Amino acid sequence: MTLDLFGSANDNARHDSPPADELGPGAFVLRGFAQSQLVALQADIDAVVARAPLRHWLTPGGKRMSVAMTNCGEVGWISDRQGYRYGTHDPLSKQPWPPMPASFVALARHAAEAAGYPDFRPDACLINRYALDARLTLHQDRDEREWDAPIVSVSLGLPATFLWGGLRRGDRTRRVRLAPGDVVVWGGPSRLVYHGIASVEGSFDAQAVRYNLTFRLAR
Ligand code: MD3
Ligand code: FE
């Protein structure tokens, strides 16, 4: 893959572009890609949450998820006893999900482009909030109709240990630290890789939390 952001070490030095790690085929960590936008992004998250509050979905098995979630965009990810799915309306308010803030749309598109996926137009943005005790067990993202489009993820707040596995649940996992401002783009052969969040790092601020935005083309 030939990408302007991922040139040689010399290129990076000359252009001062953020370093990128290839996690696997088609999956790239853009370290600090959203660093300069963290304050604006958090303000936009807070505005979405004011209209569509964070909530703990039930899994189809009836367990309360430890991660609190909400959505913006044309469709949002929902879980309840009936299963996992995307829907146009917030089941709590019965209103359509709030629109994606322009800052989200632009960031998702630019990050995808930097990783070699031009013209990414997500219709769904899942907002995840992790308190210190929250976890996301190993899973695949397969509720989307379109598996050719990448997924873009943006980390804010507390750092976390991300688990990066393989195409089978039992494949061994790598641990990757995701810090605020890191953006990860998963596409191609990595789109259906098993992944999760093992732990969130505490800090001196007992109130602090982690946020993650995931942008998807769901339908
Ligand atoms: C790899 N969220 O919402 S983002 C999720 O940090 C989810 O909140 C985690 O997994 C979080 O479904 C991880 C990274 C991520 C998202 C989607 C992926 C990694 C992925 C899809 C395929 C492969
Ligand atoms: Fe996921």
The predicted pLDDT at position 20 comes to 75
Report if residue 193 sits inside a domain.
yes
Cβ–ligand 1 distance for 216 under 6 Å, the answer: no
Q: Which ligand is nearest to the CA of 214?
A: 1
Q: What is the CATH number of the domain that holds 108?
A: 2.60.120.590
pLDDT tens for 203-213 read: 999 999 999 99
Cβ atoms 197, 135 nearer than 8 A: yes
pTM attached to this predicted model = 0.92
Using the mean position of ligand 1's atoms as its centre, give its distance from the Cα of residue 13 in Å.
Answer: 30
Does residue 2 sit within a domain?
no
Confidence tier at 18 by pLDDT (50, 70, 90): low
- Decide if pLDDT at 147 tops 70: yes
Mean pLDDT of the chain: 92
Which band of pLDDT confidence, cut at 50, 70 and 90, is reported for residue 146?
confident
Q: Which residues contact 167 (CB under 8 A, 6 or more apart)?
A: 192, 193, 194
Q: Is 166 within a domain?
A: yes
Q: Is the C-beta atom of 217 inside 6 A of ligand 1?
A: no
- In a domain? residue 184: yes
Number of domains in the chain: 1
Q: Is 91 inside a domain boundary?
A: yes
Q: Does residue 140 form part of some domain?
A: yes
The two most distant CA atoms of the chain are separated, in Å, by 53
Q: For residue 199, is pLDDT > 90?
A: yes
Phi, psi of 206 (to 5 degrees): -65, -20
CB atoms within 5 A of ion ligand 2 belong to: 141
Is 110 marked as a binding-site residue? no
Does residue 1 fall inside a structural domain?
Answer: no
Q: Is the CB of residue 182 below 6 angstroms from any atom belonging to ligand 1?
A: no
Domain of residue 124, residue span: 20-216
Pocket test for ligand 1, best of 148, 153, 177, 199 (most atoms within 8 A of CB): 153
Q: Is residue 188 part of a domain?
A: yes
Reading the block at residue 7, the tokens are: 């040139």
Residues 6+ away with beta carbon under 8 Å from 96: 88, 89, 90
